[in-house]
Chains A and B, each alone.
Chain A
Amino acid sequence: MAGIFSKTDKLNEIMNWRLNRQGMISSNIANIDTPGYKAKDLAFEREFENELKLTQTSAKHIASEPSGPKYVVTEDPYERIGNDGNTVDIDREMVKLAQNQLLYSAAAQDVARQIEGIKDTIRGIS
């Protein structure tokens, strides 16, 4: 059964990332006025895929999935830093919030469509 769910699993992974990113964005927004707080983000680590390829070509290694989520915490770049050392930009965070929420929902819709498509295929087997 593994083959037909590969796209669904990929979407699941993306949704996990967006879920975790939501936590990061919420933290930034909660700490909008905390002295010394540095705004952070969560990037989807594409470099992990390259790392996996290297592991597979080396004869000594057994090709295995990197354990744990493939994301990395990054610090948000900032132009100005407030007197209190806080780097959260409220406008940028609100944009991130809207974007993350929207793309999470889009992925959810994608999954629902995938599932429906697979169910149709199976219904088609008489």
Chain B
Amino acid sequence: MMKIDGFNNTDLAKFGQPAKPAGSGSSFLDTLKEAIDTTNQSVKEADKASLELATGQNTNIHEAMIAGQKASIEVQFMVKATNKLIQGYNELMNIR
């Protein structure tokens, strides 16, 4: 049986997400969806910080910069994670 070399729960756990045990009732996809929602939230907050900086409403520069970088990293990670997922799925489909 071919080993699927792809994205799995332990990779996700490395980045601070708790790995959900099999059969716990929530799927791997639920975990991923949660992560995507969190990422979207970070992007929204970073955009808000950026706008407030531009309008002079909140000019804590370093905080806005850091929020922006964190959001950017989270998005990058999500893109890679979903790519891996799709890759793994395709590999699985190709076995049949």
Q: Bound complex: CA of A19 vs CA of B70, how far in Å?
A: 20
Contact B77 A1 (CB under 8 A): yes
Bits for B61-96, please: 1 = Cβ < 8 Å to A, else 0: 011001001100110110010001000000000000
CB-defined contacts of A111 to chain B, threshold 8 Å? 62, 66, 69
**Chain B contact residues: helix, strand, loop or mixed:** helix
CB contacts under 8 Å to B, within A83-109, are: 108
Find A122's partner among B42, B63, B66, B77 (CB 8 Å cutoff). B77
**Size of the chain B interface, CB-CB below 8 angstroms:** 20
Nearest-neighbor residue (CB-CB) of A115 within chain B: B69
Q: Bound complex: CA of A69 vs CA of B60, how far in Å?
A: 14
Interface size class for chain A?
A: 10 to 19
From A2-10, A24-32, A37-45, give the one contacting chain B: A2-10
A114 → B minimal CB distance (Å): 9
Contact A1 B15 (CB under 8 A): yes
Instruction: Supply 6 A–B pairs (Cβ within 8 Å), ascending by A.
Output: A1-B39, A4-B15, A15-B62, A19-B60, A111-B69, A122-B73
